[in-house]
Amino acid sequence: MNMIVTPASPATPNGTTRPQVRIVIVGHVDHGKSTLVGRLLHETGSLPDGKLEMLKAVSARRGMPFEWSFLLDALQTERDQGITIDTTQIRFRTNSRDIVLIDAPGHAEFLRNMITGASQADGAVLIIDALEGVRDQTRRHGYLLHLLGVKQVAIVVNKMDRVDFSAERFKEISDEISAHLNGLGVKPTAVIPISARDGDGVADRTDRIGWYKGPTVVEALDALEPARPLEALALRLPVQAIYKFDDRRIVAGRIESGSLIAGDEIVIMPAGKIAKIKTVESWPVTPVAGRQGAGRSVCITLDRELFIERGDIIAHVSAAPRETRRLRARIFWLHDKPLAKGDQLLVRSGPKESRATVVEIEKAVDPGELSSVENKAIGRNHVGEIDISLSNPIATDPYTENPRTGRLVIEVSGRIAGGGLVLSVDAGQRAVPVDIVPVESALRPDERSARYQHNGAVVWLTGLPASGKSTLAKALERRLFSNGGSPILLDGDTLRAGLNSDLGFSAADRSENIRRLAEVATHLARNGHIAIVAAVSPAREDRAAARRIADTAFREIHVATPAEVCEDRDPKGHYKKARAGALASFTGIGNDYEPPQAAELVIDTSTRTVADAVDAIEQMLKATGVLFDEVVDLAANI
Amino acid sequence: MHLLRSDSGADGLGFTAPVSEQIPVAQTAPSMDHLDQLEAQSIYIFREAFARLKKIALLWSLGKDSNVMIWLARKAFFGRVPFPALHVDTGKKFPEMYRFRDHYGKEWELDLRVEPCPPIDAVDPTLPPAARSAARKTEGLKMALAKYGFDGLIAGIRRDEEATRAKERVFSPRGLEGNWDVRDQPPEFWDHFNASPPQGAHLRIHPILHWTEADIWAYTKRENIPIIPLYLAKDGKRYRSLGDQDITNPVASTASNIDEILIELEQTKVPERAGRALDHETEDAFERLRVAGYL
């Protein structure tokens, strides 16, 4: 049965159309959604004739004060009896808009239904009880609107009659919710004081809210813009399927943003293959001339035979999406089991799917809570930021650049379990293989540390060639070993002879060299050893990556011997060769060494002895909890 | 996509476009109207279903909605419907409907599978008479599912036609018995669909869930899709919805063509399925049917 009480007909026979806007009303349970809906239907003249009078009469007869929410209940009952209305898709009209009100339950238990509903909305009304103020579900819904990409949000502060239409109370709530939403990058289109029960602020600015100068609810709804296809952005055509029903090889998909036309030069990502669009095909008439814009489901043929598959993204050569196996996303989580570091998932970005591993969980919070207590895992109905590694490269955009391709959903056991926005795409990061089942050591960490008198650590010595890294590393190794510890030296040059012998000195190879060093060192550290890494590691970004891998075990030492001293020493003859032009990509004589900005320790070997420097390192390791202080240690063993 | 006739003239093949770099940024594609948007969305859903499921079929009830569906499938797959069209036949349809099926099944080159329903005795006797009769169709559907092993059935239901249908998802999982658990529906957003039914269960796919009755008629007119004449008024009555002959009644109407139907829909406050007896027998009859796997 159709709820079109006042017929909303976007497709009338004469072809005239009014913009159709889909909205959700969200907010905490009992903050007055049903009352507002009832009042809105009345104020927009959308109720069947006599309906209101009838309900008022019924209320009077039963000796109950009339409530606007009765209206919705009554419509619901009639709907259940197959008479009039479907309350899940209520339609009404404002001056210039056809409004479709999508049902989005307020109860926390039905968050997945709220998300399903709100994800289809062009705009939202977030309702807040003036007496109760901002509540957990208010904040949660606000956060979800942000994650769902609903940008047009009108705030309605309801039940103003209960606070004597106090402008101060209104401002208090308005400030609180605006701050919350602004923090998420959502700017409310309006904050409106209303009494849905009495009608103030719904369609009229009554005297009681005379201090308020903004739009009414009806005016705010009338100002909502329908979703527009993203034609102004770069072309993104995710490939849904390849059809070969006849001699044509047809690439089918929906244009998510931008536009295309036959003759365009395109690139197929992530493979990066180039082709030209030969034709745009259709049925019953084909081919189609003219430009095809965002929102259209199209089919194209290409000027050459290329391997192309579902999930690839077609873009213009000049503005292609990024290929990545590593990305960060801000997500909401709906699954019963919390999402934790190391979890394996299926990630979908448009038609593309890839298995993935959660590398890191950051900022896991309950968006309903005021104090954001950070958790290690993202619980059901909570949000968080995750760093994920993909088994297949995907082409994607950060959501700030493209709201359509910059979002993803997460599946667990074949069921959608969460979704969110792509924050950043880490094009340099390698994937963490997903098929590995790590074998845990038979020993407990405390068994090792009791023997070695230290915790595991990665001591990372960075500095110019000939700055003294290897000398210091060897001396430190000796010192730790003499004290009964378990140091292991990982020298950059030594590892290049074996493990890293496939790598050269390009920026990418240097990054990979550092990554491998960091991985090996971290493995040793996790098993209680002190891995001492001596590597020039000139790029700050690479060292930051190493710190991410080793996490809390990382101790960076900048061996900051002046460049002239290093060149003077030149034990391997590298500076001489480089000066002679015989050693390309040599760090030291250019300005390509990026010194650390926050190293745990800085040592200049030109001004102190090796023993002195090793003392300093030992002190630092003690101070940062790697080496045990003997007194403390004895106490711990009693 | 909507083809403007002027777009696709004889010069279509020989058309050479400039390369992208030469296109001024301001140059835009023709904007999409409401029907274009509905069509593009439905085509997207059809292609997702075809790509992600192994063995699907389209439920062809011969009515206006499922005819629009077939048209949309042909748009999605270039004039073909690359999966069977399943008609679960109660044997009690109007003669006009059978004639329509036999004619267009051939003309549209459908892989038509007509599956009979079991006799009425085989159906839950606690249901009211009309619902019991409709439940035969559910049983027929279950038998067809068992026979062919489909993992996806494409059905032409719409949110606006009935309250319980409004709660539906586009990809709607069914239990092993074909049942629908309305309280435990998976989330569905951003056109990402849950397309992994458990072993032995199936999915319902609803490509026109977002359409309204008026949309269906406006599109039928625009695309010139054939309809069964019973929808048009004759002697002051027409059918708004077509079911079994014995449980479907015409409504009072003077609308003798689609334009007039659209005007009538603007004004009516009578629900579309008012003529379908099974909706009105008891409050929960329809929901019971749907939970058990009815469309």
**Per-residue pLDDT tens digits for A150-159:** 889 999 999 9
Say yes or no: A5 contacts chain B, CB-CB below 8 A.
Answer: yes
Minimal CA separation from A390 to chain B, in Å: 19
User: Which of B100-114, B253-267, B268-282 shows the lowest per-residue confidence on average (mean pLDDT)?
Assistant: B268-282
What per-residue confidence (pLDDT) applies to A345?
92
What per-residue confidence (pLDDT) applies to A38?
85
Check whether B197 has a pLDDT greater than 70. yes
pLDDT digits (tens, 9 = 90+) for A199-249: 999 999 999 999 999 999 999 999 988 877 788 899 999 999 999 888 889
The burial of A426, by beta-carbon neighbours within 10 Å (0-12 exposed, 13-18 middle, 19 or more buried), is given as middle
pLDDT < 50 regions, chain A: 1-16, 79-87, 428-436, 631-638
A 9-68 near B (Cβ less than 8 A)? 9-13, 15, 17, 20, 48
DSSP string over B98-121: HHHHHHHHHHTT--EEEEEPPPGG
Say yes or no: B109 contacts chain A, CB-CB below 8 A.
Answer: no
What per-residue confidence (pLDDT) applies to B163?
64
Q: How far is CA B100 from CA A267, B153, B224, in A?
A: 46, 22, 15
CB contact under 8 A, A229 and B161: no
Say yes or no: A175 contacts chain B, CB-CB below 8 A.
Answer: no
- Rounded to whole angstroms, the Cα distance separating A107 from A124 reads 17
- Rounded to whole angstroms, the Cα distance separating A80 from B282 reads 9
**Which residue would you say has higher pLDDT here, A598 or B232?**
B232
A 358-377 near B (Cβ less than 8 A)? none
Number of A/B CB contacts below 8 angstroms equals 238
- Rounded to whole angstroms, the Cα distance separating A510 from B70 reads 57
Say yes or no: B209 contacts chain A, CB-CB below 8 A.
Answer: no
Check whether B281 has a pLDDT greater than 90. no
Check whether B18 has a pLDDT greater than 80. no
What per-residue confidence (pLDDT) applies to A506?
76
Active-site residue set of A: 537
| Phi, psi values for residue A260, rounded to 5° | -145, 165
Check whether B249 has a pLDDT greater than 60. yes
Q: Six-digit token pair at A121?
A: 């909305």
What per-residue confidence (pLDDT) applies to B224?
96
DSSP string over A59-89: HHHTT----HHHHHHHHHHHHHTTSS--TTE
- Rounded to whole angstroms, the Cα distance separating A163 from A78 reads 35
What per-residue confidence (pLDDT) applies to A73?
66
Q: Give the residue from chain A lying closest to B240, CA to CA.
A: A1
Say yes or no: A633 contacts chain B, CB-CB below 8 A.
Answer: no
Q: Six-digit token pair at A367?
A: 């968006």
Q: What is the 8-class DSSP label of residue A283?
A: S
- Percentage helix, strand, coil, to 5, in chain A? 30, 25, 45
Say yes or no: B10 contacts chain A, CB-CB below 8 A.
Answer: no
- Rounded to whole angstroms, the Cα distance separating A457 from A551 reads 10
What's the sign of the alpha-carbon dihedral A28, A30, A35, A38?
positive
Mean pLDDT in residue range B184-194? 88
Q: Six-digit token pair at A409?
A: 């959903």
User: Which of B65-79, B156-170, B238-252 shows the lowest per-residue confidence on average (mean pLDDT)?
Assistant: B156-170
Q: Six-digit token pair at B190?
A: 């951003």
B 32-61 near A (Cβ less than 8 A)? 32-37, 39-41, 43-44, 47-48, 50-51
Say yes or no: A304 contacts chain B, CB-CB below 8 A.
Answer: no
Task: Write the class of the CATH domain B32-212+276-292.
Answer: alpha beta
- Rounded to whole angstroms, the Cα distance separating A437 from A558 reads 36
CB contact under 8 A, B35 and A11: yes
CB contact under 8 A, A293 and B15: no
Say yes or no: B267 contacts chain A, CB-CB below 8 A.
Answer: yes
Check whether B16 has a pLDDT greater than 70. no
What per-residue confidence (pLDDT) applies to A263?
94
What per-residue confidence (pLDDT) applies to B287?
61
Check whether B74 has a pLDDT greater than 80. yes
- Rounded to whole angstroms, the Cα distance separating A485 from A476 reads 11
What per-residue confidence (pLDDT) applies to A372?
65
CB contact under 8 A, B271 and A296: no
| Phi, psi values for residue A126, rounded to 5° | -105, 120
Q: Where are the domains of chain B?
A: 32-212+276-292
- Complex ipTM: 0.84
The HSE-up count of residue B63 (CA atoms within 13 Å, CB side) is: 21
Contact at 8 Å (CB) between A331 and A419?
yes
- Rounded to whole angstroms, the Cα distance separating A597 from A29 reads 50
CB contact under 8 A, A259 and B29: yes
Check whether B10 has a pLDDT greater than 60. no
CB contact under 8 A, B34 and A84: no
User: Which of A375-384, B59-68, B116-125 shows the lowest per-residue confidence on average (mean pLDDT)?
Assistant: B116-125
Residues in A closer than 8 angstroms to B187, CB to CB, are 112-113, 115-116, 334, 416, 419
CB contact under 8 A, A86 and B40: no
What per-residue confidence (pLDDT) applies to A445?
76
Contact at 8 Å (CB) between A145 and A186?
yes
**Which residue would you say has higher pLDDT here, A503 or B237?**
B237
Say yes or no: A303 contacts chain B, CB-CB below 8 A.
Answer: no
What per-residue confidence (pLDDT) applies to A568?
86
Residues in B closer than 8 angstroms to A278, CB to CB, are none
